[in-house]
A and B are shown apart, each in its own frame.
Chain A
């Protein structure tokens, strides 16, 4: 009970300290707005900000869907053909260690701002999904693989009836990591596109508010981005608990 209450209490304490510091030191909102001002700004600009949040969130989710489908498909292909995996895994690793956010400006040269944002988010989310899925497909119970072979299973049987279901928890972990990264990728590309793009996402609102020195507005947009990230994380944690209950060890809950 106490353990459950500590995080919200800690957050409340931080916000209170922030509010008090701003009031006592008489910091103007244009330098550091108090939490109450940020919340007021949020409510005052709710339609505009929520619309922007919906845009960014939907970009991230579209990117996640594409990266998820692509990453899992490629992992299945690698599992099917170890030769392909040997050939392409070094490339995948090299791309994984590259901070792909840095390619956002490059993407903006070739693509429409919309498409560039999507492409950047897909790129950033893709590799954790691929590597988690590939590892999961490999980790299937060796005894079961042998049993499948003993009973005359085809390679397709082994892949789709054994390796794929065995890998679902890993694939889900990859998707959860990928969801957060897709959001980061989308935001990074929106920032890179800046005022030049006709973007309508939250990051674009931050850039725009920055130009106009509307500091509380910038904070409000950042708070909404944080909430978007939390929502994505919570949604995947919940889905994981519901869909993968059978995979998890332990007593019935």
Chain B
């Protein structure tokens, strides 16, 4: 039942004034509904790849082709990037309001999105009153509120403490249904926990070193983290990452 949603063909980007390309000849097919993690060392072009997919940057060569029209995309950055003058509800409502929806009409959708990330009832709180983990949840709710088909996340939980990170990984697991997720991380454990497939990237120039399809135990949460499959996946990915980091 796999159907490609996004196809990257020979995608390359060289930043102006740089000799080496940041990305060189990336070919990748993303299936509808899967969670694909982009895993690689810092500076290998993960963010660049995600920004190309979002349309924030234009490739020097190659093509990005969507099955059908370009779908609605939700994007989560490494920082929460909230508007400090707006309360939680207004921050989450942003994509709806920019699409022309009134505050009244947006309210129930905002409420639902907040409930999905475990922040029910926090509509009137201000960003500065929230912990780092809660801000990231708000950012996630904002990305989900207009029901995007595709969710792009660029190391969203990298600056959070371990426990908060697990909680947010669980939150993300629980709202996967139907959404296609591209998740950038440099953490083997996060990739092993979240992904259906992992694209291992290598640097200089940035390209895909290997694609790994994971054996998913049906369990999630603590049970998944304790499972032998999870341990094996972590070992496989670590070895893959080690090879990806070796000079060619």
Residues of B close to A152: CB separation below 8 A: 98-99
- B55 close to A (CB within 8 Å): yes
Stretch with Cβ within 8 A of B (4 or more), from A56-64, A214-222, A245-253: A245-253
Q: Which of A148-205 contact B (CB under 8 A)?
A: 148-153, 157, 162, 165-166, 168
Question: Judging by beta carbons under 8 Å apart, are A151 and B94 in contact?
Answer: yes
Interface size on A, residues (CB 8 A): 23
Which of A146, A147, A248 meets B128, CB within 8 Å?
A248
- Map CB proximity to A onto B72-101 as digits: 1 under 8 Å, 0 otherwise: 010101010101110000000011001100
Question: Judging by beta carbons under 8 Å apart, are A249 and B128 in contact?
Answer: yes
- A112 close to B (CB within 8 Å): no
Question: Judging by beta carbons under 8 Å apart, are A150 and B128 in contact?
Answer: no
Smallest CB gap from B51: residue in A:
A146
Nearest chain A CB to B91's CB is how many angstroms away?
A: 10
Nearest chain B CB to A163's CB is how many angstroms away?
A: 11
- B134 close to A (CB within 8 Å): no
Which of A141, A165, A252 meets B81, CB within 8 Å?
A141
Q: A143-B81, A147-B75, A162-B83 are in contact. Are A153 and B98 (CB under 8 A)?
A: yes
Residues of A close to B85: CB separation below 8 A: 165, 168, 246-247
Question: Judging by beta carbons under 8 Å apart, are B98 and A246 in contact?
Answer: no
Nearest chain A CB to B122's CB is how many angstroms away?
A: 14
Residues of A close to B95: CB separation below 8 A: 147, 151
Complex: A153 Cα to B100 Cα, angstroms = 10
Q: A248-B128, A249-B128 are in contact. Are A165 and B98 (CB under 8 A)?
A: no
Q: A146-B75, A147-B94, A249-B128 are in contact. Are A165 and B99 (CB under 8 A)?
A: no
Smallest CB gap from A244: residue in B:
B85
- A69 close to B (CB within 8 Å): no
Question: Judging by beta carbons under 8 Å apart, are A148 and B98 in contact?
Answer: yes
Given contacts A146-B54, A147-B94, 5 further A-B contacts (CB under 8 A): A146-B56, A149-B56, A150-B73, A168-B85, A246-B128
Chain B residues proximal to chain A, CB less than 8 Å: 54-56, 73, 75, 77, 79, 81, 83-85, 94-95, 98-99, 126, 128-129, 146
Chain A residues proximal to chain B, CB less than 8 Å: 141, 143-144, 146-153, 157, 162, 165-166, 168, 246-252
Q: Which 8 A-B pairs have the closest CB atoms?
A: A143-B81, A143-B77, A151-B98, A151-B95, A246-B85, A153-B98, A165-B85, A146-B56
